[in-house]
Chains A and B, each alone.
Chain A
């Protein structure tokens, strides 16, 4: 069973990517993280993640895309999987 839910929101206009990401994190099961792929840096997402009790790690993807790895705070297994996957990408620089 995969430890990751993948969500590509890069084809959607604002604020649909944010709406879709928030809905997806509510469906996350224990031990799983969300791998969010977007064409832009989702500036407004992070405050919402914090309010809902989620942590994240942001990385650069191919073609200037942005990858955000999201897990529920306190879910150590999901955090470990997320950080392991994130390590395969370069740190995000604006």
Chain B
């Protein structure tokens, strides 16, 4: 008897993760529309439209996909069972989608009421999600190699959310002073803690699984997340308490920032090295997404290092880093993952749903037919052009509209590809049931 074997019947139905993943590109499209209607926002990260755009991408796209994926991948990859998965998903989806829209509308309109309402809804939603996921992980018998990074990512998510709530309170409540200095911590915990650690943890499973690479080193799996999480804690403590005299505190923060940068560089270089060692070197456009995403990560780390060393400085350098990290690195990796995860889930659920006694088991389409490669490749090219144009538009403002339109089209095509993949499931199930009646 395999205690860590999995019953698909205990995982949420396919619609549950799919609704999150199919919704995400539309939030990216909204961000693009904002850039078209507010092109001046791309010159200053404190512009309300820029803050709205950032949260449309970080909450509406990145968190939306991650949360959807977690609800299916935790059971499938780690044997972690979620109780009442359907109820959990409905509540989280409503809270995340509505909260993000209300919050971003609040930023655009500079409305304290909307900002407060959006932040509150997101806060309650995320608190419940984090608690449920942590409980499920702790109660499971899953290996520490799988769960440690996941727990630290969820704690990072919690800190990001609490900092975000406090920052939102600065906008929404006159009694709360706006503390922009905390924004750097909010961004750090969000990008390097929540997103970064979750990307690492998922990579340790999906890269060997889908790309047939050797495993990541055990030492890295066990300790990288701990090193980064600890550094974030120590940076936050040093900054918030300011207990060390000025220069010493800055030096300590810089040291821990170097640890984080080194950790992310290690992840990028190790992943590239493993991919070079994969067993079957078949052309795969999702690998191109990964290579591009990891290159953007390394570029971002270089720019950060040069900026910290005062070697490089120009207005908008923080927007450059943000674009490379959010759009270049995170969105590229997530999109590459989506093009593997969605066909895999469609195939898996078809195998489960279609009666094995019927001939339709033989007609379950191959994964490559669920989202055809030529469509994925076309969308990848649009994504590359979009990222390039966005980077150019940070310096040359006349390119903003072209960049935004390309980004919009790229995400529209992504939505089209994912929807057609999901539609394969509906079509095959319908045809199989029709045949067996």
In whole angstroms, how far apart are the Cα atoms of A9 and B194 in the complex? 34
How many residues belonging to B are interface residues under a CB distance threshold of 8 Å? 25
Q: Scan A42-55; emit 1 where CB is below 8 A from any B CB, else 0.
A: 01111110011000
Q: Is B87 an interface residue (CB 8 A)?
A: no
Is there contact, CB below 8 Å, between A14 and B6? no
Q: How many residues of A contact B (CB 8 A)?
A: 21
Pick from B208, B215, B348, B367: contact of A44, CB under 8 Å: B348
B76 CB to closest chain A CB (Å) equals: 7
Q: Which residues of A contact B367 (CB under 8 A)?
A: 15
Complex: how many Å from CA A13 to CA B351?
A: 17
CA distance A44 to B8 in the complex (A): 8
Do A13 and B6 touch across chains, with their CB atoms under 8 A apart? no
Within 8 A of A (CB), among B335-371: 344, 347-348, 351, 356, 367
A9-54, CB < 8 A from B = 10-15, 18, 39-41, 43-48, 51-52
Chain B residues, Cβ within 8 Å of A94: 4, 143
Complex CA gap A11/B214 in Å reads 11
Query: Within 8 Å CB of B209, what residues of A?
Result: 13-14, 40
Q: How far is the CA of A44 from the CA of B351 in the complex (A)?
A: 11
B351 touching A48 by the CB < 8 A rule? yes
B6 — nearest CB in chain A belongs to which residue? Answer: A43
Task: Please judge, given known A-B contacts A13-B212, A15-B348, whether A44 and B76 are in contact too, CB under 8 Å.
Answer: yes
A60, CB-defined interface residue at 8 Å: no
With A13-B209, A13-B210, A39-B212 known, 7 other A-B pairs at CB within 8 A are A13-B211, A14-B210, A14-B344, A40-B208, A41-B4, A43-B4, A51-B356
B residues in contact (CB < 8 Å) with A: 2, 4-9, 76-77, 79, 143, 208-212, 215, 279-280, 344, 347-348, 351, 356, 367
Top 5 A-B pairs, shortest CB-CB distance: A46-B5, A11-B279, A14-B209, A13-B210, A47-B7
